[in-house]
A and B are shown apart, each in its own frame.
Chain A
Amino acid sequence: MKIAVCVKEVPDAGASRRHDPAADHRLVRDGDPALNPFDAHAIEAALQHAEGADGVTVTAVCMGPASAQRSVQKALALGADDAVLISDDALAGSDVLGTARVLAAAIERGGYDLVLMGQQSADGECWVLPGVVAALLGWPVLTQAASLSIEDGSVRIDRQAEAGYEKVGASLPAIVSVSDAINEPRYPSLKAIMGAKRKPLEQLDLAALDLPAGSVGQDGARSIVRSVGDPPPQPGGTVIEDDGSAADRIVEFLRERNLV
Protein backbone atom coordinates (compact mmCIF):
# COMPACT_ATOMS: atom_id res chain seq x y z
CA MET A 1 0.00 0.00 0.00
CA LYS A 2 1.27 3.44 -0.94
CA ILE A 3 0.37 6.43 1.21
CA ALA A 4 1.14 9.99 0.14
CA VAL A 5 1.15 12.83 2.67
CA CYS A 6 0.81 16.31 1.20
CA VAL A 7 3.03 18.79 3.03
CA LYS A 8 3.50 22.53 2.75
CA GLU A 9 6.09 25.00 3.88
CA VAL A 10 4.59 27.96 5.76
CA PRO A 11 5.93 31.07 7.49
CA ASP A 12 6.94 30.61 11.11
CA ALA A 13 3.74 30.88 13.15
CA GLY A 14 5.40 32.89 15.89
CA ALA A 15 6.86 35.49 13.53
CA SER A 16 5.14 38.79 12.92
CA ARG A 17 3.15 39.16 9.74
CA ARG A 18 2.00 42.48 8.45
CA HIS A 19 0.97 44.01 5.18
CA ASP A 20 3.03 46.81 3.78
CA PRO A 21 1.02 49.65 2.18
CA ALA A 22 4.28 51.00 0.71
CA ALA A 23 4.96 47.73 -1.14
CA ASP A 24 1.67 47.23 -3.00
CA HIS A 25 0.02 45.65 0.08
CA ARG A 26 2.17 42.55 -0.15
CA LEU A 27 2.48 40.56 3.02
CA VAL A 28 5.77 40.91 4.85
CA ARG A 29 6.69 37.82 6.85
CA ASP A 30 9.50 37.65 9.33
CA GLY A 31 11.14 34.47 10.60
CA ASP A 32 12.18 31.22 8.93
CA PRO A 33 9.61 29.15 7.06
CA ALA A 34 8.87 25.71 8.46
CA LEU A 35 6.83 22.56 7.83
CA ASN A 36 3.12 23.36 8.29
CA PRO A 37 2.54 22.10 11.85
CA PHE A 38 -0.84 20.57 10.88
CA ASP A 39 0.92 18.37 8.31
CA ALA A 40 3.02 16.73 11.05
CA HIS A 41 -0.20 15.13 12.32
CA ALA A 42 -0.88 13.66 8.87
CA ILE A 43 2.67 12.29 8.67
CA GLU A 44 2.29 10.78 12.15
CA ALA A 45 -1.02 9.13 11.18
CA ALA A 46 0.61 7.63 8.07
CA LEU A 47 3.60 6.39 10.04
CA GLN A 48 1.43 4.80 12.72
CA HIS A 49 -0.44 2.86 10.04
CA ALA A 50 2.80 1.90 8.25
CA GLU A 51 4.34 0.63 11.50
CA GLY A 52 1.37 -1.63 12.19
CA ALA A 53 1.09 -3.20 8.74
CA ASP A 54 3.32 -4.87 6.14
CA GLY A 55 4.39 -3.31 2.88
CA VAL A 56 3.20 0.23 3.52
CA THR A 57 5.29 3.08 2.13
CA VAL A 58 4.89 6.75 3.01
CA THR A 59 5.79 9.48 0.51
CA ALA A 60 5.81 13.21 1.31
CA VAL A 61 4.49 15.27 -1.61
CA CYS A 62 5.15 19.00 -1.60
CA MET A 63 4.48 21.87 -3.99
CA GLY A 64 6.62 24.89 -3.24
CA PRO A 65 9.69 26.89 -4.11
CA ALA A 66 13.07 25.13 -4.14
CA SER A 67 13.63 26.43 -0.60
CA ALA A 68 10.75 24.20 0.58
CA GLN A 69 13.26 21.35 0.45
CA ARG A 70 13.96 22.12 4.11
CA SER A 71 10.42 21.22 5.08
CA VAL A 72 10.49 18.13 2.87
CA GLN A 73 13.65 17.04 4.73
CA LYS A 74 11.73 17.50 7.98
CA ALA A 75 9.02 15.14 6.68
CA LEU A 76 11.70 12.60 5.79
CA ALA A 77 13.33 13.00 9.21
CA LEU A 78 9.95 12.32 10.85
CA GLY A 79 9.85 9.00 8.99
CA ALA A 80 8.54 9.33 5.42
CA ASP A 81 10.32 6.83 3.13
CA ASP A 82 10.78 9.21 0.24
CA ALA A 83 9.56 12.56 -1.08
CA VAL A 84 8.46 14.42 -4.19
CA LEU A 85 8.98 18.19 -4.45
CA ILE A 86 7.23 20.02 -7.29
CA SER A 87 8.94 23.35 -7.94
CA ASP A 88 8.54 25.64 -10.90
CA ASP A 89 8.68 29.42 -11.34
CA ALA A 90 5.41 29.14 -13.28
CA LEU A 91 3.64 27.97 -10.08
CA ALA A 92 4.00 31.33 -8.34
CA GLY A 93 0.62 32.93 -7.66
CA SER A 94 -1.34 29.65 -7.80
CA ASP A 95 -4.74 29.75 -6.11
CA VAL A 96 -6.45 26.80 -4.41
CA LEU A 97 -7.59 25.36 -7.75
CA GLY A 98 -4.11 25.63 -9.28
CA THR A 99 -2.47 24.09 -6.22
CA ALA A 100 -4.99 21.24 -6.32
CA ARG A 101 -4.29 20.61 -10.01
CA VAL A 102 -0.58 20.21 -9.29
CA LEU A 103 -1.11 17.91 -6.30
CA ALA A 104 -3.71 15.83 -8.18
CA ALA A 105 -1.29 15.37 -11.08
CA ALA A 106 1.52 14.34 -8.73
CA ILE A 107 -0.81 11.92 -6.91
CA GLU A 108 -1.96 10.36 -10.18
CA ARG A 109 1.65 9.98 -11.32
CA GLY A 110 2.64 8.31 -8.03
CA GLY A 111 -0.25 5.82 -8.00
CA TYR A 112 -1.09 6.11 -4.30
CA ASP A 113 -3.87 4.23 -2.48
CA LEU A 114 -4.42 6.84 0.21
CA VAL A 115 -3.56 10.53 0.45
CA LEU A 116 -3.39 12.23 3.85
CA MET A 117 -3.34 15.96 4.52
CA GLY A 118 -3.33 18.23 7.56
CA GLN A 119 -6.66 19.89 8.36
CA GLN A 120 -5.50 23.32 7.19
CA SER A 121 -2.35 25.22 6.33
CA ALA A 122 -1.16 27.59 9.02
CA ASP A 123 -0.88 30.41 6.48
CA GLY A 124 -3.63 29.94 3.88
CA GLU A 125 -6.13 28.47 6.34
CA CYS A 126 -8.42 27.45 3.49
CA TRP A 127 -9.49 23.97 4.76
CA VAL A 128 -10.95 23.03 1.36
CA LEU A 129 -7.93 21.73 -0.56
CA PRO A 130 -8.69 18.03 0.14
CA GLY A 131 -12.10 18.36 -1.55
CA VAL A 132 -10.72 20.12 -4.62
CA VAL A 133 -7.96 17.52 -5.09
CA ALA A 134 -10.47 14.68 -4.55
CA ALA A 135 -12.81 16.15 -7.17
CA LEU A 136 -10.02 16.39 -9.75
CA LEU A 137 -9.12 12.73 -9.14
CA GLY A 138 -12.73 11.53 -8.89
CA TRP A 139 -11.98 10.17 -5.41
CA PRO A 140 -14.04 10.42 -2.21
CA VAL A 141 -12.91 12.87 0.47
CA LEU A 142 -13.13 12.59 4.26
CA THR A 143 -11.96 15.58 6.30
CA GLN A 144 -11.01 16.37 9.89
CA ALA A 145 -10.45 12.80 11.07
CA ALA A 146 -10.10 12.58 14.86
CA SER A 147 -9.40 8.87 14.42
CA LEU A 148 -8.68 6.80 11.36
CA SER A 149 -8.85 3.11 10.51
CA ILE A 150 -7.75 1.50 7.27
CA GLU A 151 -8.77 -2.07 6.47
CA ASP A 152 -10.00 -4.22 3.61
CA GLY A 153 -9.44 -1.55 1.01
CA SER A 154 -11.47 1.09 2.78
CA VAL A 155 -10.98 3.92 5.23
CA ARG A 156 -13.29 4.99 8.05
CA ILE A 157 -12.96 8.04 10.25
CA ASP A 158 -14.56 9.50 13.34
CA ARG A 159 -14.84 13.23 13.36
CA GLN A 160 -16.46 16.10 15.11
CA ALA A 161 -19.07 17.91 13.07
CA GLU A 162 -21.59 20.56 14.11
CA ALA A 163 -24.11 17.99 15.38
CA GLY A 164 -21.60 15.85 17.30
CA TYR A 165 -19.25 12.99 16.54
CA GLU A 166 -19.99 11.16 13.32
CA LYS A 167 -18.53 8.26 11.37
CA VAL A 168 -17.94 8.44 7.63
CA GLY A 169 -16.13 6.05 5.33
CA ALA A 170 -15.12 5.38 1.74
CA SER A 171 -13.35 2.78 -0.34
CA LEU A 172 -9.74 3.40 -1.38
CA PRO A 173 -8.21 5.27 -3.08
CA ALA A 174 -9.39 8.27 -1.06
CA ILE A 175 -8.24 11.62 0.31
CA VAL A 176 -8.36 12.08 4.08
CA SER A 177 -7.48 15.16 6.12
CA VAL A 178 -6.72 14.67 9.81
CA SER A 179 -7.50 17.00 12.71
CA ASP A 180 -4.70 18.18 14.95
CA ALA A 181 -6.29 16.20 17.78
CA ILE A 182 -5.70 12.82 16.10
CA ASN A 183 -2.20 12.29 17.55
CA GLU A 184 0.91 13.88 19.00
CA PRO A 185 3.54 14.05 16.26
CA ARG A 186 6.90 12.52 17.18
CA TYR A 187 10.14 14.47 17.32
CA PRO A 188 12.81 13.27 14.91
CA SER A 189 15.98 11.88 16.48
CA LEU A 190 19.34 13.27 15.45
CA LYS A 191 19.99 9.98 13.68
CA ALA A 192 16.74 10.34 11.74
CA ILE A 193 17.62 13.91 10.79
CA MET A 194 21.00 12.77 9.43
CA GLY A 195 19.43 9.72 7.74
CA ALA A 196 16.81 11.89 6.01
CA LYS A 197 19.50 13.34 3.76
CA ARG A 198 20.08 9.92 2.21
CA LYS A 199 16.42 9.22 1.49
CA PRO A 200 15.18 9.60 -2.12
CA LEU A 201 13.91 13.10 -2.93
CA GLU A 202 12.53 13.46 -6.45
CA GLN A 203 12.32 16.99 -7.84
CA LEU A 204 9.70 17.63 -10.53
CA ASP A 205 8.81 20.63 -12.66
CA LEU A 206 5.53 21.38 -14.43
CA ALA A 207 6.58 19.64 -17.64
CA ALA A 208 7.03 16.38 -15.73
CA LEU A 209 3.39 16.60 -14.62
CA ASP A 210 2.07 17.33 -18.10
CA LEU A 211 -0.09 20.21 -16.93
CA PRO A 212 -1.17 22.73 -19.58
CA ALA A 213 0.37 26.18 -19.26
CA GLY A 214 -2.17 28.67 -17.98
CA SER A 215 -3.98 26.14 -15.79
CA VAL A 216 -1.80 26.92 -12.77
CA GLY A 217 0.14 29.86 -11.34
CA GLN A 218 -0.96 33.47 -11.64
CA ASP A 219 -2.46 32.90 -15.12
CA GLY A 220 -4.59 29.97 -13.99
CA ALA A 221 -5.87 31.61 -10.81
CA ARG A 222 -9.67 31.94 -10.71
CA SER A 223 -9.86 33.51 -7.28
CA ILE A 224 -7.81 36.65 -6.78
CA VAL A 225 -6.88 39.02 -3.99
CA ARG A 226 -8.20 42.47 -4.86
CA SER A 227 -6.86 44.29 -1.85
CA VAL A 228 -5.34 43.76 1.57
CA GLY A 229 -6.01 46.11 4.44
CA ASP A 230 -6.22 46.52 8.17
CA PRO A 231 -9.03 44.74 10.00
CA PRO A 232 -11.80 46.91 11.41
CA PRO A 233 -10.60 48.41 14.68
CA GLN A 234 -11.51 46.37 17.75
CA PRO A 235 -11.80 47.86 21.18
CA GLY A 236 -8.47 46.84 22.66
CA GLY A 237 -8.40 45.14 26.03
CA THR A 238 -5.75 45.32 28.73
CA VAL A 239 -3.03 42.67 28.76
CA ILE A 240 -0.66 42.33 31.72
CA GLU A 241 2.20 40.00 32.63
CA ASP A 242 1.65 38.12 35.86
CA ASP A 243 4.03 39.44 38.54
CA GLY A 244 2.15 37.66 41.32
CA SER A 245 -0.64 40.24 41.51
CA ALA A 246 -2.63 39.13 38.43
CA ALA A 247 -5.43 37.51 40.45
CA ASP A 248 -6.01 40.75 42.38
CA ARG A 249 -5.92 42.77 39.17
CA ILE A 250 -8.56 40.48 37.62
CA VAL A 251 -10.82 40.84 40.66
CA GLU A 252 -10.39 44.63 40.53
CA PHE A 253 -11.35 44.59 36.83
CA LEU A 254 -14.38 42.35 37.46
CA ARG A 255 -15.49 44.62 40.29
CA GLU A 256 -15.36 47.68 38.01
CA ARG A 257 -17.76 45.83 35.72
CA ASN A 258 -19.94 44.64 38.61
CA LEU A 259 -19.21 41.02 37.79
CA VAL A 260 -18.23 40.06 41.35
Chain B
Amino acid sequence: MGSLLVYVESSEGQFTTGSLGVAAKAAALAGELSTSVTAVVVGPGASERAATLGSHGVGRVLAVDGARGDEPSATEVADAVVAAVRAESPLLVMANASVLGAEVAGLVAGRLGLGIATDAVDASISDGSVIVTKPAFDDSVWVECGWAGEGETAGVALFRAGSFSADPVNGATAEVVGIEPEGSERHVEFLGRAESTDEGVDITQADVLVGAGRGLGGPDQFGVVESLAQALGGAVATTRAVVDAGWYDYSTQVGQTGKTVAPKLYIAAGISGAIQHKIGMQSSGTIVAINKDANAPIFEYADFGVVGDLFEVLPKLEQAIRESS
Protein backbone atom coordinates (compact mmCIF):
# COMPACT_ATOMS: atom_id res chain seq x y z
CA MET B 1 0.00 0.00 0.00
CA GLY B 2 1.22 3.49 -0.86
CA SER B 3 2.22 5.99 1.80
CA LEU B 4 0.63 9.32 2.67
CA LEU B 5 2.77 12.11 1.21
CA VAL B 6 2.92 15.42 3.09
CA TYR B 7 4.53 18.65 1.93
CA VAL B 8 6.15 20.09 5.07
CA GLU B 9 6.76 23.75 4.35
CA SER B 10 9.83 25.71 5.40
CA SER B 11 9.81 29.42 6.10
CA GLU B 12 12.82 31.38 7.36
CA GLY B 13 14.70 28.19 8.18
CA GLN B 14 11.96 26.46 10.13
CA PHE B 15 9.14 24.06 9.41
CA THR B 16 5.79 25.83 9.64
CA THR B 17 3.38 24.91 12.43
CA GLY B 18 0.48 24.40 10.01
CA SER B 19 2.32 21.87 7.88
CA LEU B 20 3.63 20.00 10.96
CA GLY B 21 -0.02 19.69 12.03
CA VAL B 22 -0.88 18.09 8.68
CA ALA B 23 2.05 15.67 9.13
CA ALA B 24 0.74 14.70 12.56
CA LYS B 25 -2.77 14.10 11.13
CA ALA B 26 -1.25 12.04 8.31
CA ALA B 27 0.59 9.93 10.90
CA ALA B 28 -2.70 9.19 12.71
CA LEU B 29 -4.38 8.19 9.42
CA ALA B 30 -1.35 6.10 8.39
CA GLY B 31 -1.61 4.20 11.69
CA GLU B 32 -5.21 3.24 10.88
CA LEU B 33 -4.25 2.20 7.34
CA SER B 34 -1.08 0.35 8.41
CA THR B 35 1.02 2.49 6.11
CA SER B 36 3.58 5.25 6.65
CA VAL B 37 4.07 8.98 6.12
CA THR B 38 6.62 10.37 3.68
CA ALA B 39 7.37 14.09 3.81
CA VAL B 40 8.76 16.37 1.09
CA VAL B 41 10.90 19.28 2.29
CA VAL B 42 12.48 22.01 0.15
CA GLY B 43 14.71 24.96 0.99
CA PRO B 44 18.09 25.99 2.34
CA GLY B 45 19.11 23.59 5.11
CA ALA B 46 15.93 21.53 4.73
CA SER B 47 17.65 18.15 4.86
CA GLU B 48 19.60 19.07 8.01
CA ARG B 49 16.46 19.57 10.09
CA ALA B 50 14.42 16.88 8.27
CA ALA B 51 15.27 14.04 10.67
CA THR B 52 13.33 15.84 13.44
CA LEU B 53 10.12 15.22 11.47
CA GLY B 54 10.24 11.70 12.90
CA SER B 55 8.88 13.14 16.13
CA HIS B 56 5.79 14.28 14.19
CA GLY B 57 5.16 10.77 12.88
CA VAL B 58 7.04 11.01 9.56
CA GLY B 59 8.92 7.85 8.57
CA ARG B 60 10.84 9.06 5.56
CA VAL B 61 11.76 12.47 4.17
CA LEU B 62 12.57 13.32 0.56
CA ALA B 63 14.66 16.49 0.78
CA VAL B 64 15.73 19.14 -1.71
CA ASP B 65 18.33 21.49 -0.23
CA GLY B 66 18.56 25.05 -1.40
CA ALA B 67 16.40 27.24 -3.59
CA ARG B 68 16.93 29.70 -6.40
CA GLY B 69 16.09 32.59 -4.05
CA ASP B 70 16.31 32.89 -0.26
CA GLU B 71 13.12 30.85 -0.06
CA PRO B 72 11.81 28.12 -2.37
CA SER B 73 9.19 29.18 -4.92
CA ALA B 74 5.95 27.36 -5.70
CA THR B 75 7.39 25.92 -8.92
CA GLU B 76 10.46 24.51 -7.13
CA VAL B 77 8.33 22.87 -4.45
CA ALA B 78 5.88 21.52 -7.03
CA ASP B 79 8.81 19.98 -8.96
CA ALA B 80 9.87 18.17 -5.76
CA VAL B 81 6.36 16.98 -4.88
CA VAL B 82 5.71 15.76 -8.44
CA ALA B 83 9.00 13.82 -8.38
CA ALA B 84 8.04 12.32 -5.01
CA VAL B 85 4.58 11.26 -6.25
CA ARG B 86 6.14 9.60 -9.30
CA ALA B 87 8.68 7.75 -7.13
CA GLU B 88 6.35 6.74 -4.29
CA SER B 89 2.84 6.43 -5.78
CA PRO B 90 1.32 7.64 -2.49
CA LEU B 91 -2.34 7.14 -1.62
CA LEU B 92 -2.84 10.86 -1.15
CA VAL B 93 -0.88 14.13 -1.21
CA MET B 94 -1.57 16.37 1.81
CA ALA B 95 -0.55 19.99 2.45
CA ASN B 96 -1.33 22.96 4.66
CA ALA B 97 -3.25 25.79 2.96
CA SER B 98 -0.67 28.55 3.27
CA VAL B 99 -0.27 30.95 0.35
CA LEU B 100 2.60 28.81 -0.96
CA GLY B 101 0.91 25.53 -0.04
CA ALA B 102 -2.19 26.40 -2.07
CA GLU B 103 -0.07 27.27 -5.12
CA VAL B 104 1.88 24.03 -4.79
CA ALA B 105 -1.30 21.94 -4.39
CA GLY B 106 -2.80 23.49 -7.53
CA LEU B 107 0.38 22.99 -9.57
CA VAL B 108 0.74 19.35 -8.47
CA ALA B 109 -2.92 18.51 -9.18
CA GLY B 110 -2.69 20.13 -12.62
CA ARG B 111 0.56 18.49 -13.61
CA LEU B 112 -0.50 15.01 -12.50
CA GLY B 113 -4.18 15.29 -13.45
CA LEU B 114 -5.33 14.68 -9.88
CA GLY B 115 -8.48 15.71 -8.07
CA ILE B 116 -8.09 18.35 -5.39
CA ALA B 117 -10.07 19.00 -2.21
CA THR B 118 -9.47 22.37 -0.57
CA ASP B 119 -10.25 24.06 2.74
CA ALA B 120 -10.48 20.71 4.52
CA VAL B 121 -10.60 20.75 8.32
CA ASP B 122 -10.51 17.02 9.00
CA ALA B 123 -9.84 13.66 7.37
CA SER B 124 -10.89 10.09 8.08
CA ILE B 125 -10.72 6.62 6.58
CA SER B 126 -13.64 5.13 4.68
CA ASP B 127 -13.30 1.81 2.81
CA GLY B 128 -9.51 2.06 2.85
CA SER B 129 -9.45 5.53 1.33
CA VAL B 130 -8.85 8.89 2.98
CA ILE B 131 -11.84 11.20 2.76
CA VAL B 132 -11.83 14.81 3.91
CA THR B 133 -14.39 17.04 5.57
CA LYS B 134 -14.71 20.69 4.58
CA PRO B 135 -17.06 23.46 5.57
CA ALA B 136 -18.63 25.34 2.64
CA PHE B 137 -20.70 28.46 2.05
CA ASP B 138 -19.30 30.44 4.97
CA ASP B 139 -19.27 27.31 7.12
CA SER B 140 -23.07 26.90 6.78
CA VAL B 141 -22.79 23.32 5.47
CA TRP B 142 -20.32 20.48 6.06
CA VAL B 143 -19.22 18.56 2.97
CA GLU B 144 -17.50 15.15 2.81
CA CYS B 145 -15.21 14.85 -0.21
CA GLY B 146 -13.81 11.71 -1.77
CA TRP B 147 -12.13 10.72 -4.99
CA ALA B 148 -12.92 9.20 -8.37
CA GLY B 149 -10.87 7.88 -11.24
CA GLU B 150 -8.05 5.41 -11.82
CA GLY B 151 -4.53 5.41 -10.45
CA GLU B 152 -2.94 4.67 -7.12
CA THR B 153 -2.85 8.29 -5.97
CA ALA B 154 -6.35 9.51 -5.14
CA GLY B 155 -5.72 13.24 -5.15
CA VAL B 156 -4.44 16.29 -3.30
CA ALA B 157 -5.98 17.43 0.00
CA LEU B 158 -5.33 20.95 1.22
CA PHE B 159 -6.10 21.64 4.89
CA ARG B 160 -7.21 24.89 6.48
CA ALA B 161 -4.41 26.36 8.61
CA GLY B 162 -4.60 25.44 12.28
CA SER B 163 -6.82 22.37 11.76
CA PHE B 164 -4.47 20.06 13.66
CA SER B 165 -2.14 20.18 16.66
CA ALA B 166 1.54 20.29 15.71
CA ASP B 167 2.93 19.06 19.02
CA PRO B 168 5.64 16.41 18.62
CA VAL B 169 4.31 12.95 19.47
CA ASN B 170 7.60 11.24 20.34
CA GLY B 171 11.37 11.53 19.95
CA ALA B 172 11.76 9.41 16.81
CA THR B 173 13.97 10.42 13.89
CA ALA B 174 13.02 10.12 10.24
CA GLU B 175 15.12 8.63 7.46
CA VAL B 176 16.28 11.43 5.14
CA VAL B 177 16.91 10.89 1.43
CA GLY B 178 18.16 13.68 -0.84
CA ILE B 179 16.41 13.98 -4.21
CA GLU B 180 17.14 16.05 -7.31
CA PRO B 181 13.88 16.63 -9.13
CA GLU B 182 13.78 17.67 -12.75
CA GLY B 183 13.21 21.44 -12.75
CA SER B 184 10.34 23.18 -14.51
CA GLU B 185 11.22 25.22 -17.57
CA ARG B 186 9.28 28.23 -16.35
CA HIS B 187 9.86 29.39 -12.79
CA VAL B 188 8.48 31.73 -10.20
CA GLU B 189 11.27 33.76 -8.57
CA PHE B 190 11.22 34.59 -4.87
CA LEU B 191 12.49 38.20 -4.84
CA GLY B 192 12.57 39.02 -1.16
CA ARG B 193 10.60 40.00 1.87
CA ALA B 194 9.69 43.44 3.18
CA GLU B 195 11.39 44.26 6.49
CA SER B 196 8.97 44.71 9.36
CA THR B 197 9.02 48.35 10.41
CA ASP B 198 7.11 48.28 13.65
CA GLU B 199 8.39 47.19 17.06
CA GLY B 200 5.19 48.19 18.87
CA VAL B 201 2.84 46.30 21.16
CA ASP B 202 2.83 42.51 20.92
CA ILE B 203 -0.87 41.79 20.43
CA THR B 204 -0.40 38.08 21.18
CA GLN B 205 0.30 39.02 24.82
CA ALA B 206 -2.74 41.27 25.38
CA ASP B 207 -5.67 40.15 27.58
CA VAL B 208 -8.07 42.38 25.68
CA LEU B 209 -8.02 43.19 21.98
CA VAL B 210 -10.24 45.60 20.09
CA GLY B 211 -10.23 44.37 16.51
CA ALA B 212 -10.76 46.95 13.78
CA GLY B 213 -11.93 45.97 10.30
CA ARG B 214 -12.76 47.61 7.02
CA GLY B 215 -15.91 49.01 8.66
CA LEU B 216 -13.70 51.70 10.23
CA GLY B 217 -13.77 53.35 6.83
CA GLY B 218 -10.30 54.91 6.71
CA PRO B 219 -6.92 55.40 8.38
CA ASP B 220 -8.01 58.53 10.29
CA GLN B 221 -10.96 56.77 11.99
CA PHE B 222 -9.01 54.63 14.44
CA GLY B 223 -9.33 56.96 17.45
CA VAL B 224 -12.58 55.25 18.43
CA VAL B 225 -10.96 51.78 18.72
CA GLU B 226 -7.70 53.08 20.22
CA SER B 227 -9.44 54.84 23.08
CA LEU B 228 -11.72 51.87 23.78
CA ALA B 229 -8.66 49.60 23.87
CA GLN B 230 -7.01 52.01 26.29
CA ALA B 231 -10.10 52.05 28.54
CA LEU B 232 -9.99 48.25 28.67
CA GLY B 233 -6.24 48.08 29.20
CA GLY B 234 -5.85 46.28 25.88
CA ALA B 235 -4.50 46.82 22.39
CA VAL B 236 -5.78 47.32 18.84
CA ALA B 237 -5.81 44.40 16.41
CA THR B 238 -6.65 44.60 12.70
CA THR B 239 -7.61 42.56 9.65
CA ARG B 240 -5.77 41.87 6.41
CA ALA B 241 -8.00 44.30 4.50
CA VAL B 242 -7.07 47.12 6.89
CA VAL B 243 -3.34 46.39 6.65
CA ASP B 244 -3.27 45.84 2.90
CA ALA B 245 -5.06 49.17 2.48
CA GLY B 246 -2.22 50.79 4.47
CA TRP B 247 -4.47 51.99 7.32
CA TYR B 248 -2.58 50.28 10.16
CA ASP B 249 0.66 48.40 10.77
CA TYR B 250 1.11 44.78 9.75
CA SER B 251 2.26 43.85 13.26
CA THR B 252 -1.35 44.30 14.45
CA GLN B 253 -2.88 41.96 11.91
CA VAL B 254 -4.80 38.90 13.11
CA GLY B 255 -5.62 35.98 10.84
CA GLN B 256 -4.23 33.29 8.61
CA THR B 257 -1.66 35.72 7.26
CA GLY B 258 -0.86 37.57 10.45
CA LYS B 259 -0.91 36.65 14.11
CA THR B 260 -2.92 34.07 16.01
CA VAL B 261 -4.31 35.50 19.24
CA ALA B 262 -6.34 34.16 22.16
CA PRO B 263 -7.12 37.07 24.51
CA LYS B 264 -9.71 36.80 27.29
CA LEU B 265 -11.85 39.33 25.40
CA TYR B 266 -11.90 40.18 21.68
CA ILE B 267 -14.17 43.02 20.59
CA ALA B 268 -14.56 42.93 16.79
CA ALA B 269 -15.58 46.31 15.37
CA GLY B 270 -16.51 46.56 11.71
CA ILE B 271 -15.03 43.13 11.01
CA SER B 272 -17.06 40.78 8.79
CA GLY B 273 -15.27 37.78 10.30
CA ALA B 274 -14.31 35.92 7.12
CA ILE B 275 -12.57 32.61 7.69
CA GLN B 276 -9.08 34.07 7.19
CA HIS B 277 -9.67 36.33 10.20
CA LYS B 278 -11.54 33.71 12.22
CA ILE B 279 -8.55 31.34 12.07
CA GLY B 280 -6.48 33.90 13.96
CA MET B 281 -8.89 34.76 16.80
CA GLN B 282 -11.43 31.96 17.25
CA SER B 283 -9.71 30.77 20.43
CA SER B 284 -10.45 34.05 22.22
CA GLY B 285 -12.22 33.54 25.56
CA THR B 286 -15.14 35.83 24.76
CA ILE B 287 -15.94 37.43 21.41
CA VAL B 288 -18.11 40.54 21.13
CA ALA B 289 -18.94 41.83 17.63
CA ILE B 290 -20.35 45.12 16.38
CA ASN B 291 -21.19 45.28 12.68
CA LYS B 292 -23.73 47.07 10.50
CA ASP B 293 -24.34 43.97 8.38
CA ALA B 294 -26.64 41.50 10.13
CA ASN B 295 -25.43 38.78 7.72
CA ALA B 296 -21.74 39.19 8.64
CA PRO B 297 -20.20 35.75 9.41
CA ILE B 298 -18.76 37.11 12.68
CA PHE B 299 -22.23 36.89 14.26
CA GLU B 300 -22.18 33.12 13.80
CA TYR B 301 -19.35 32.73 16.31
CA ALA B 302 -19.57 35.85 18.46
CA ASP B 303 -20.72 35.30 22.04
CA PHE B 304 -22.47 38.67 21.96
CA GLY B 305 -23.28 40.50 18.74
CA VAL B 306 -24.64 43.97 18.06
CA VAL B 307 -26.07 44.89 14.67
CA GLY B 308 -25.38 48.60 14.64
CA ASP B 309 -23.07 51.49 13.84
CA LEU B 310 -19.73 51.08 15.59
CA PHE B 311 -19.27 54.86 15.68
CA GLU B 312 -22.44 55.05 17.81
CA VAL B 313 -21.79 52.01 20.00
CA LEU B 314 -18.05 52.18 20.76
CA PRO B 315 -17.90 55.68 22.31
CA LYS B 316 -20.85 54.84 24.59
CA LEU B 317 -19.22 51.53 25.47
CA GLU B 318 -15.97 53.27 26.34
CA GLN B 319 -17.79 55.76 28.53
CA ALA B 320 -19.73 52.99 30.33
CA ILE B 321 -16.54 51.04 30.94
CA ARG B 322 -14.65 54.07 32.25
CA GLU B 323 -17.58 54.83 34.59
CA SER B 324 -17.83 51.26 35.86
CA SER B 325 -14.16 50.85 36.68
Contacts and interface: CB of A to CB of B under 8 A. Distances in A.
Contacts of A19: 141
Interface string A205-226: 0000000000000000111111
Interface in B74-114: 74-75, 78, 97-100, 102-111, 113-114
A140 to B, nearest CB: 5
Interface in A210-260: 221-232, 234, 237-242, 246-251, 253-255, 257, 259-260
Interface stretch (A42-50, A60-68, A77-85, A124-132): A124-132
A146 B146 contact: no
B317 A241 contact: no
A10 to B, nearest CB: 11
Contacts of A180: 241
A125 to B, nearest CB: 6
Contacts of B119: 125-127
The majority secondary structure among interface residues of chain A is: mixed
Contacts of A142: 188
B244 A259 contact: no
Given A162-B257, A234-B300, A237-B305, A168 B78 contact: no
Interface string B8-34: 000110001010000000000000000
B240 A170 contact: no
Contacts of A259: 208, 264-265, 286
A171 interface: yes
Interface in A152-171: 156, 158-171
Interface in B165-182: none
A254 B286 CA distance: 9
A128 B106 contact: yes
B1 interface: no
B131 A226 contact: yes
A251 B318 CA distance: 10
Contacts of B145: 223-226
A226 B146 CA distance: 6
Contacts of A229: 141-144
Given A162-B98, A179-B244, A223 B117 contact: yes
Nearest to B126: A226
A179 B274 CA distance: 14
Given A97-B109, A230-B141, A143 B99 contact: yes
B196 to A, nearest CB: 6
A62 B193 CA distance: 34
Contacts of B305: 237-240
Interface stretch (B44-52, B56-64, B132-140, B215-223): B132-140
Interface residues of B, number: 101
Between A100, A135, A253, the greatest number of chain B beta carbons within 10 A of the residue's beta carbon is seen for: A135
A230 B145 CA distance: 15
B313 interface: yes
Contact of B109 (A96, A166, A225, A227): A96
B194 A241 contact: no
B229 to A, nearest CB: 14
A181 B241 contact: yes
30 contacts: A17-B137, A126-B119, A131-B109, A141-B74, A141-B103, A143-B99, A160-B99, A160-B250, A161-B98, A161-B99, A162-B11, A165-B194, A166-B194, A169-B191, A171-B186, A181-B240, A221-B148, A223-B116, A230-B142, A231-B139, A234-B301, A237-B301, A238-B304, A238-B305, A240-B306, A246-B316, A253-B304, A254-B286, A257-B286, A260-B321
Given A128-B116, A226-B146, 10 more contacts: A125-B119, A160-B244, A162-B161, A163-B12, A167-B191, A223-B155, A226-B145, A228-B143, A241-B306, A251-B321
Q: Which 5 A-B pairs have the closest CB atoms?
A: A131-B106, A135-B110, A242-B308, A222-B115, A181-B244
Interface of B: 11-12, 16, 18, 71, 73-75, 78, 97-100, 102-111, 113-119, 126, 131, 135-137, 139-149, 155, 158, 161, 184-194, 196, 208, 232, 240-241, 243-245, 250, 256-258, 264-265, 286-288, 290, 294-295, 299-309, 312-314, 316-317, 319-321, 324-325
Interface of A: 14, 17-19, 27, 95-97, 100, 123, 125-136, 138-144, 146, 156, 158-171, 179-182, 221-232, 234, 237-242, 246-251, 253-255, 257, 259-260
